Every structure is written in C-alpha cells, then in structure tokens.
Amino acid sequence: MKILLRDVRIVNPQSESRGDVVIEDGKIKGCSDAGGRRAADIRIDGEGRIAMPGFIDVHIQGAGGADVLDAHPRALRDIARECATHGVTGFLATTIYRPNGDNEHIANVVECSRGDLEAAQLLGIHIEGPFISAQRRGMINPSYIAVPSIGLFDQILNECKGQLRMMTIAPELPGAGPVIERMLSNQVIPSLGHSSANYEQTLDALRWGVSHVTHLYNTMPPMHHRSPGPIPAILMSSHVTAQIISDGIHIHPAMIRLTAHNLGEDRCVLITDGMRALGLPDGEYEYDGRTFTSSGGAARYVDGTLVGTTLGMNELGKRFLDFTGWGLTALAKAASMNPARLLRLDRSKGSIEAGKDGDVVIMNPDLTVWMTIVKGRIVYDQSQTNAS
C-alpha cells in the first residue's frame, strides 16, 4: 500500500518545508517538493495543511469513556481510537499497581500489546507507583503504596512480561536507590514523581541514573528560596527531561513559559495525563471507583484534587505554543521526538524521514486534527467522521 500526501507543510523537529510525503508498506519512503505525477494507491491532497510526526503520549490513563483499569480489550481500543482523533499515534498505557490486590488490568494491557488496536499504537506500560510518597500520592489510593523493594519490583516486571517501559518512583524513600538501579538494568525508565524529595535527595537520584520526571510541579514540593526542593535540581540539570501538562490549570501559563525556557525545547515532554472523560462532554465520571468531575478540560475529585486532563494532545499542544511563544518545530520536539527519544524509539519514530514508521498527523492551521496515519494506515479521517 502506497500513500501520497500531496502539498503539505512538513514540520519536523529541526526544520519545516512544503512538499509531498510518500508512505509505502507502513514506512516513510521519502519527502520531496510538491508537484509532479506519482503513482499511489491513495492520494491525499493536504492543501497546505500541517503534517507532523505523530504525537506520542507517555502518560495517559484513559480516554473516550474508557480507562486502563477497566481491564478489558475494548477499553484499550477505545483509548487508542480517541488518542488518534487528537493526533496521537503511540501511547503508554498508564496505570497503578495493586501490591495486594487484583492486577487484571496489567494482564489485559500485556495481552492487547500482542495485537493491533487499529488506531494509536500501544507502546507499553507506565506504572505510577507503588514506590511513591504517601504525602504526595495525589489521586492514587493509599493501599496501592508500598516500600521500595527489589522483590516487589521483580514481581511487577514479571507480570508486565516485557511491556513495562516506565515507572514513577519517589527516590527519597528507603530502598529506592537499589530499585532504581534494577529498573535501569532492565531498560525500565525510572521517573521521579509523587515524591517529597528535597534538593539533595533529588541530586542523589540524578546521580543514580534518574533522568525523567513525572508531571513536573504536580505531586512534588514547591520551590522555596530557603528550601529549594526538587525543582531547581531538575531545571538546572543538563539532561533530565520532564513531563509537562500544558493545560494552564495543572501549571500556570507563566510557569509553563518559564519552565520551557529553562528546560529548552529538547527536554520538554508533553503529556495529557488523560482520564476516561478525555474527548467527552463535561460531566461526572469515575476513576477507580471514585467520582470525578470534568469541567473546562480538567478532571477533579469532589474535594478539588486534580486527577488529570480531559484535553487531547493537539489541544494541549496549541496551548503550549500559545504559552511559550515557540513555533511548530518545538511542538514536533515536545510531542513527538522527545518522547520517542525517551522511549528509545527515535530511530523509527519522532520525525518524518525516509525509513521511519509512517506515523503522521495532518492538522488544520488551528491545530485541529484532519487526519491521523499510523504505520501507513489511516486511522482517523475528519472528513469521514463529519460525514457520519
């Protein structure tokens, strides 16, 4: 199958141009100047629309009325379909682990990873916890928290059957250091988060090999001039990447701008932290047996605790550009290349280049999604959706 994308504005992490993109047998065949006659099974006239490498969301719990915790193949398919409508071509199924309870949802993700969701690609599992601070647990049930131990980590790793890509951990907890070392030796990304770590403990974690941060600022101590906490250590490092929820609610717009300009374009990783209400109307929904309210793009428990977003990646990307003043190439980094590099997938994803996967999102000038292509397959088409 050969797809020809004609006359698109090709936005890559390092550059942009206007031309054609050819995708053949699931891979990008190449890019060229617009015009000319080329044979193709499917010809799509982009009419100057924006073509970017597909977005990768490393932190999403649910979308389209479904949640990873639903522990059913249909839930993962619904999440993948909703992701595709927002330009996401790959995602980590993000969830919790119950140290003394049912983890059928983990087994379900493992099983679904062996198949094709026919939408955004399931790239693995991200577990928030169980080695987190009880004081910074956010929406995570206290019964899902455990003392860091290599034994429990190995149990989780075994249950994930090769699909565990990332685990959020509080490095200040006793026993965290050896667990982080074990994560790294098993190619699992240790991500600092849900943590009460101070400045010195954060520096220790960076020396141990931690190089990524879960939803920066949220569920961690704020910065203070006499008690700096983890944030200066993160911002002043030269290599640590950080997840940013750019809705303007989880982080104030001014702080998003300040943070982005401190981290730089290569260290920002946009995430949705999406919930089952992502893509659905405002109203009441449920997460892990508790009711939350979706309003204005934010999900909150009754007590006001933020539990995630209900905005799609393209919507958050637009706000990110509005808040930072950056251009589209920066979005291609923060939503595509940087997460691809984080997951060690940048040889196959993260840019529109010959030989890479045919993962492309085509957007209108206002960054609404017009079409999403995953490995050379059209999985979302706005025109078809509107027609139906």
Catalytic residues: 273
The C-alpha atoms of residue 177 and residue 208 are separated, in whole angstroms, by: 7
Residue 229 and residue 298: Cα distance in Å, rounded? 26
The span from the CA of 328 to the CA of 344, in Å, is: 23
Buried b (16+ CB within 10 A) or exposed e, 106-129: bebbbebbeeebebbbbbbbbbbb
Inter-residue contact 71 to 79 (CB < 8 Å) = no
- The tokens describing 231, both together, are 């944030």
CA dist 12 and 53 (Å) reads 7
Residue 371's DSSP bridge partners are 362, 381
Q: How many CB atoms lie under 10 A from the CB of residue 35?
A: 10
